[in-house]
Amino acid sequence: MARPQTIEEQELVGRLSRVFRDIGYEGASLAMLAAATGLKKASLYHRFPHGKQQMAEQVLAAALSWYATNILSPLAGQGSPAERIAMVVKNLDAFYASGRQACLLNMLASPHTDNGPFAAAIKRAFEALIKAFMALAREAGHAPAESRARAERAVMLLHGSLVMCRGLRSSKPFRVFLAALPGELLAEPRSSRNRKIAIGHA
Amino acid sequence: MARPQTIEEQELVGRLSRVFRDIGYEGASLAMLAAATGLKKASLYHRFPHGKQQMAEQVLAAALSWYATNILSPLAGQGSPAERIAMVVKNLDAFYASGRQACLLNMLASPHTDNGPFAAAIKRAFEALIKAFMALAREAGHAPAESRARAERAVMLLHGSLVMCRGLRSSKPFRVFLAALPGELLAEPRSSRNRKIAIGHA
DNA sequence: CTTGTTTTACCGAACGATCGGTTTTATGTC
DNA sequence: GACATAAAACCGATCGTTCGGTAAAACAAG
């Protein structure tokens, strides 16, 4: 009907995402967000009438949607567990830019002392990932309790590796995690430890 | 000489620490820090002439000092590796309030996009913890590469469990981590997985 | 093809509030 | 009185947010 947007929603949310993932919700100022998107502050308010919080909400929603499509869905899809986890490893590597990009679930977790506006979505996201990992471990032949433990451990390693990457300013921990992930979920308990099983060239 | 302080340095830094660990560096305002300590802003500036950054620096320094005394030192101390790790588990549980308190290394890691004023100290802290864990694994009979991998995994699990605790608003992941830590560092690779080995009653 | 209207996207400027930080005055102990 | 601490008042800057108005494309009537 009228004047076209100078930047489409997808690209816009993507650029906002980068800022929030880099410096968190409180740390991201409207000035930074405007600079990162090329729009002025007032224009950002035209696109997101509810302001900064809505921006973060849509960024989080987009990330969760991407996660559902590229991580959760492949985990529950077809193919052998090994094939599926290989696909997920590839997509995780892309999503976290090989460990150079932090996770929104960590960067948005604190805003207002306790449970901010994102707390519910964040909790659901953690639970969904654990559940998906657990289902894969179950399918690989592990008992329910064992599968849940492996899934929770995998999520711990994921987020821990990302925290370490930021602290050490190195992408190595995340790459180590990716290489170990298939073994974490699938390998037999008594086999040799989970190395050289994964893709390995990442 | 003259009028005594109404709150001693130790208690003061401790209360500041709580705020920074709860909502991060950017999220912590002088008003919150003043409210948490009982001092007015100007009085805080009397105690910390360089302002908020100095507060965070001293909070971080105090935490690292506590860590050196209660975590790193026991790891390198005397007694069997199992005894030492049990002591460390107990102190970690106290330091992180059973998972209810986040880690400063995570909450202070982002401030100014990349390497802020705490980046160097944070990196050193990660490396020191890895090194200490690695030394214990070595002492338990593991090869150097294997020991380093186990140490890095343990640090990943530590921080990942803390992130999960905040996201899920539950202390369970951290307790699971503590229970698994001794096995992560010490257990034989081919033995049954590391459960029921640890303290277990935490 | 014009021309005017509508509709939407964008932006400059300013809002009140709060930020981190400073100066000034009062308080309490020696 | 001497002097270190604490508190009140204040500062410029920036925060997130709002508003009035402009720029640009689609549509309708001539």
From residues 3-42 of A, list those within 7 angstroms of strand C by Cβ: 3-7, 39-42
Q: Are A104 and A21 spatial neighbours (Cβ–Cβ below 8 Å)? A: yes
Across the interface, of B110, B127, B146, the residue whose CB is closest to A23 is: B110
**From CA A145, how far away is CA A142, in angstroms rounded?**
8
Give the integer Cα–Cα distance in Å for A135 and B77: 42
Residue B34 has pLDDT above 70, yes or no: yes
| pLDDT tens for each residue of A179-189 | 999 999 998 76
Nearest nt by C1' to B52 Cα: C20
Within 10 angstroms of residue B76's Cβ, the number of other Cβ atoms is 12
Asked if the model's pLDDT at residue A201 lies above 70, the reply is no
Q: What is the mean pLDDT of chain B?
A: 89
Tell me if residue A123 falls in helix, strand or coil. helix
| Chain A stretch 38-77, residues whose beta carbon is closer than 8 A to a beta carbon of chain B | none
Tell me the pLDDT of chain A averaged across its residues: 91
Token digits of residue A29 = 């100022």
Distance of CA A83 to the CA centre of its chain: 20
Domain residue extents for chain A? 64-200
pLDDT in tens, A104-127: 999 998 766 556 789 999 999 999
Q: What is the DSSP letter of A3?
A: P
> pLDDT digit string (tens) for B141-190?
999 999 999 999 999 999 999 999 999 999 999 999 999 999 999 987 65
Q: Please report, as a single letter, which amino acid is at residue A81.
A: P
Protein CB footprint (7 Å) on chain C nucleotides: 6-14, 18-24, 27-30
Q: Please, which residues 170-199 of chain B have a Cβ atom closer than 8 Å to chain A?
A: 173, 176-177, 180, 189-193, 195
The pTM assigned to this predicted structure is 0.90
Residue B199 has pLDDT above 90, yes or no: no
- Tell me the nearest-neighbour CA distance from B150 into chain A, angstroms: 11
Distance CA B58, CA B63 (A): 8
Q: What kind of architecture, by CATH, is found in domain B64-200?
A: Orthogonal Bundle (1.10)
How confident is the model at residue B10, as a pLDDT?
A: 86
Among the residue ranges A187-196, B109-118, B164-173, the one predicted with the least confidence is A187-196
Whole-number pLDDT of residue B2:
63
Each residue of A127-140: pLDDT tens digit?
Answer: 999 999 999 999 99
Distance of CA A81 to the CA centre of its chain: 21
* Contacts B109 to A, Cβ<8 Å: 163, 166-167
Q: Which of A16, A112, A98 is nearest to A61 (CA)?
A: A16
Considering all nucleic acid strands, name the nucleotide whose C1' atom is nearest to the C-alpha of residue A42: C11
